[in-house]
Amino acid sequence: MSSTRHLSHLLSVVLTLVLLAGCSKSEEPKKPTTPPAAVTAPVATPPATVIPTAAREPSPAQAKPTRPPQSGKITESKQAGPHTFVQVEADGEQYWLATNPFKPKVGEVVHWDQFTVKRNYHSKALNQTFPMVMFVGAILPGPAPLPTTTSKGKVHSVLQSGGYTYVQIGNATGAWLAAPTVKVKEGDAVVWTPGTSMKNFTSKTLNRTFPEIQFLSGLKVESVAAVKPTPEESKAQRRTTPAETGKAVSKPAPPANRPPPQKPKGTTTSER
């Protein structure tokens, strides 16, 4: 009987231990089945590049012509030493020109052709610095003429004065042309594009009035005339006579080191 009790008590103890073990396992927290996502630092995004307004390429409507104009209306003029400075308005912009002295008229439309651009030019006579000045050969009245065919002719006479070359074409009654200084002489064949005609034009530097003269933007020498010998060269080239100089004409000396005449082979000479 006592053994039975002892066995029952042992089973009760074992059962109690089993129940206690199951309760301790049920109270443990459950572990996550998936690992947590890794936390990464945010990637810095570079700021967008902003192009300054001044650096952007202008639209075709805003783009200005790269070549200065060749015609405009006079808005101001200044006399300074050997130059006349003229401000003209063209295409909504203001431009300064410099040329030989003349009397411009404000409001007059003028044109010009050949020019040289100088930037940041300082005029001592005016004590003024111009951002840009176009030095032109001549400022002519009226708008720029349309391109036309060229003309040709032979120079009859030439006058150089005041930064211009005056040439007469053909003969003594031929037409007069004026262009920025060019190296040309009588007899040269020249080519030009018709310019602006002026009547009763007086050149102060030449002190001469031309009944009609045509001012050109340029004069091109097409062919050069043969150079005529000077009087000294002509005298040296021609043979003078005793009557002209009063002196005997010397005969030319025989050529030096002239070999003696060769005797024919197979012949002999005998003294007599």
Give dist(CA 51, CA 49) in Å, integer: 6
Name the percent of the chain lying above pLDDT 90. Answer: 36
Q: 87-108 pLDDT, tens per residue?
A: 999 988 999 999 998 899 999 9
In the chain, the number of structural domains is 2
Half-sphere exposure (Cβ direction) of 250: Cα atoms closer than 13 Å:
3
Please check the confidence at residue 7 and state whether its pLDDT lies above 70: no
What is the mean pLDDT of the segment spanning 174-189? 93
Instruction: Give the list of residues 6+ apart from residue 230 with CB closer than 8 angstroms, or none.
Output: none
Same domain, 76 and 136: yes
Give dist(CA 250, CA 243) in Å, integer: 14
Q: φ and ψ at 243, to 5 degrees?
A: -65, -30
Query: Residue 123's domain is classified under what CATH number?
Result: 2.40.50
Among candidate residues 123, 141, 159, the one where a domain is terminated: 141
Mean pLDDT across the chain = 76
Same domain, 136 and 76: yes
Among candidate residues 85, 110, 141, the one where a domain is terminated: 141
Supply the pLDDT for residue 213. Answer: 94
Q: 14-31 pLDDT, tens per residue?
A: 666 756 665 555 555 555
According to DSSP, residue 41 is labeled P
Please check the confidence at residue 32 and state whether its pLDDT lies above 80: no
Same domain, 93 and 133: yes
Supply the pLDDT for residue 137. Answer: 83
Question: Considering the domain boundaries, does residue 267 fall inside one?
Answer: no
Same domain, 94 and 129: yes
Instruction: Give the list of residues 6+ apart from residue 117 with CB closer than 8 angstroms, or none.
Output: 68, 132, 133, 134, 135
Question: Considering the domain boundaries, does residue 60 fall inside one?
Answer: no
Torsion of CA 231, 233, 236, 237, to 10 degrees: -110
Among candidate residues 87, 110, 141, the one where a domain is terminated: 141
In terms of pLDDT, which residue wins out, 141 or 63? 141
Domain with 195 in it: 151-223
Supply the pLDDT for residue 194. Answer: 84
In terms of pLDDT, which residue wins out, 151 or 65? 151
Question: Considering the domain boundaries, does residue 253 fall inside one?
Answer: no
